[in-house]
Amino acid sequence: MANTAAASEEQHFVLSHLSPSLAQRRLALAVVLALLVAFAITAGPLSTIQPGRIGAFVPAYATAIFVTDLLTAVLLFAQFSILRSRALLAIASGYLYTALMVIPWMLTFPGVFTPSGLLGAGLQTTNWLYSLWHAGFPMFVIAYALSKDADPTKELWHGSTGAAILSSVAATGAVVCALTLLATAGNDLMPRISVDSVRFSTLWLYVAGCLVVLIVVNLIVLWIRRRSVLDLWLMVVMCAYLIEICLISFPVPIRYSIGWYAGRVFGLVSSSLVLFVLLYEITMLYAQLLRAIGAQRREREARLMTGDAVTATIAHEVKQPLSAMITNADAGLRWLDRSVPDLDEAKVAFKQIAADGRRAGAVIGSIRAMFKRDDRGRISLDIKELIGEALALARGDLQKHRILVHTEADVQLPQVIGDRIQLQQVLLNLITNAIDSMAGEDGPRVLSVKSEVHDGVGVMVSVADTGAGIGSQDVDRIFNPLFTTKSDGMGMGLPICRSIIEAHEGRLWVAENTPRGAVFQFLLRADSGGSTAVSASVSGTVPVAAA
């Protein structure tokens, strides 16, 4: 049952079930018109002209038919094994039938192996084999057309596909053997279809007429039940079949005439059409498969990347409050360890630990909001206040590395809309990076944090340092997740900053600082309805080391 469900799922992708597109219908029509034009040119008086016998023509033609029909049969059997459609089994057996019938036809063809042909009785045998071959294939096509629209529970094969294919191959082989036996050993029992080893009897014309009727019936059935790409191309095959029979038989059947040769060429065209369409379809499916695998891999990588990014972000953002907690806990213990414990200082340290703990909790909450793109925590904020808080949090490191802090702000600076914790994280990340960059450099160490009105509608914050600066080879990469040049770096700070600022509909970029170092700048939307933060401390230089 599961196999059957999978088979009906897969039907949407193969030509025996796909509806033909307008382009495919037009192409099929163009092929039929081209066949008719070729027919009009080769039919009539021209068809009776005899350019002479080309010795290698029949073996070459038969080999080509054998190979193309066998390949078509193999591909159709393969489709049957996936889709389990009885109709496909019928048409695959039809192609196998023509591939096998061409063998005795070539062997008995007069003049190919022996003057009167192997096995048989000259043209009499060859013509019967040809008629049986060309009558048999349309029978398979009718079986295909009649079974393809049956109730799916009856149309789909529920048993073993291998056994079904083997029995079809065996049955088709047996039919071909029986017909060959009839046309060769039982030759005397068959009505005379040829007068001698060269000329055809009038019976041939009746046989050819019956073949024409059979093919026309086929075309009608296919037309009425046409649904899929395969139906469309089988109709074209039947048209080529029809033209082949007409060219070979009418007005008079003459071997090695232009009509006869042209008929064979039409035979080859009809034999190879479905193979070409199948090969085209397989190539298309292959391309689709490659695209699907690529998309699947990209999706998996994106999911892994998000997972990596979440864990790395949490680790990165929680590191700072945790180290602050450890430092404060050590300090608190030292105050208590004194011979006369200083309880007030210890209390300050413990309060600080509690504050850092709360901040760590808030940071985790804001990371969740960031990945969920949740903007519920957005409020109107004074950016200068946030800068002050971030500098206070980094005070320990600023003091340690003897960095001079310079702040500057426009007098009429508007409030901004944002998430307090997230924007604080951005400032803290940029300040920490600036400290890291200056820590290894000699010369003056100055951190400048500037906030100014931008274009009247935004606020631009710049964090500039006098550190090592960013090498031209790294400028394009520093915002990439996991890119770091530090031995203990995680490469998540800047991507997090950019992601936060962009979630606030702002922009973050980097530029060179003069005379040295880097300057990171970000732009935020001003709160149009909010108040303007007028601060007394417009500009100031604080040697944090002394603060």
Contact residue for ligand ADP among 70, 282, 439, 468 (CB under 6 A): 468
Please state, in angstroms and rounded to a whole number, the distance separating the CA atoms of residues 137 and 143.
10
Which of 458/493 has CB closer to ligand ADP? 493
Closest contact distance (angstroms) between CB of 524 and ligand ADP is 19
Number of H helices, E strands in the chain: 15, 10
Closest contact distance (angstroms) between CB of 484 and ligand ADP is 3
Could you say which residues in the range 164-193 bind ligand ADP, by CB under 6 A?
none
Determine phi and psi for 512, rounding to 5 degrees. Answer: -80, 145
Nearest CA to 264 out of 409, 105, 462 is that of 105
Please state, in angstroms and rounded to a whole number, the distance separating the CA atoms of residues 114 and 107.
9
Which of 255/445 has CB closer to ligand ADP? 445
The answer to the question of residue 462 lying near ligand ADP (CB under 6 A) is no
Could you say which residues in the range 485-504 bind ligand ADP, by CB under 6 A?
485-486, 489-494
Strands 458-464 and 518-525, sheet pairing = antiparallel
Nearest CA to 258 out of 43, 36, 34, 110 is that of 43
Name the one range near ligand ADP by CB under 6 A: 43-51, 202-210, 393-401, 468-476: 468-476
Closest contact distance (angstroms) between CB of 426 and ligand ADP is 11
Closest contact distance (angstroms) between CB of 453 and ligand ADP is 24
Contact residue for ligand ADP among 518, 526, 533, 544 (CB under 6 A): 518
Closest contact distance (angstroms) between CB of 397 and ligand ADP is 13
The answer to the question of residue 467 lying near ligand ADP (CB under 6 A) is yes
Question: Which amino acid makes up residue 544?
Answer: V
Which of 327/484 has CB closer to ligand ADP? 484
Residue nearest to ligand ADP (CB): 493
Name the one range near ligand ADP by CB under 6 A: 25-33, 202-210, 304-312, 479-487: 479-487
Contact residue for ligand ADP among 270, 425, 433, 499 (CB under 6 A): 433
- The token pair at 284 is 């298309």
Which of 365/489 has CB closer to ligand ADP? 489
The answer to the question of residue 364 lying near ligand ADP (CB under 6 A) is no
Contact residue for ligand ADP among 73, 478, 503, 524 (CB under 6 A): 478
Which of 27/468 has CB closer to ligand ADP? 468
Name the one range near ligand ADP by CB under 6 A: 70-78, 192-200, 440-448, 466-474: 466-474
Which of 254/490 has CB closer to ligand ADP? 490
Closest contact distance (angstroms) between CB of 323 and ligand ADP is 14
Name the one range near ligand ADP by CB under 6 A: 93-101, 148-156, 211-219, 480-488: 480-488
The conformational region for residue 184 under phi > 0 = left, psi -120 to 50 = alpha, else beta, is: alpha
Please state, in angstroms and rounded to a whole number, the distance separating the CA atoms of residues 384 and 459.
11
- The token pair at 244 is 């082949």
Determine phi and psi for 406, rounding to 5 degrees. Answer: -120, 125
**Helix ranges (DSSP H) in 113-228:** 123-147, 152-155, 161-184, 202-224
- CA dihedral sign of residues 464, 469, 475, 481: negative
Strand order in the sheet with 518-525: 507-512, 518-525, 458-464, 446-454, 404-409, 539-543
Per-residue contact string for residues 370-409; x = within reach of ligand ADP by CB under 6 A: ----------------------------------------
Nearest CA to 264 out of 67, 59, 113, 114 is that of 59
At residue 471, the 3 state secondary structure works out as coil
Please state, in angstroms and rounded to a whole number, the distance separating the CA atoms of residues 476 and 492.
15
The answer to the question of residue 318 lying near ligand ADP (CB under 6 A) is no
Contact residue for ligand ADP among 407, 437, 451, 499 (CB under 6 A): 437
Cα 275 to Cα 29, 68, 336: the distances in Å are: 18, 7, 90
Q: Which residues pair with 409 in a beta bridge?
A: 451
Return all residues near 45 (Cβ < 8 A) that are at least 6 apart: none
Supply the DSSP symbol for 341.
Answer: -
Closest contact distance (angstroms) between CB of 467 and ligand ADP is 5
The answer to the question of residue 465 lying near ligand ADP (CB under 6 A) is yes
The answer to the question of residue 470 lying near ligand ADP (CB under 6 A) is yes
Inter-axis angle of helices 229-249 and 22-42, to 10 degrees?
0
Name the one range near ligand ADP by CB under 6 A: 59-67, 221-229, 240-248, 432-440: 432-440
Residues that bind ligand ADP (CB under 6 A): 429, 433-434, 437, 465, 467-470, 478, 483-486, 489-494, 518
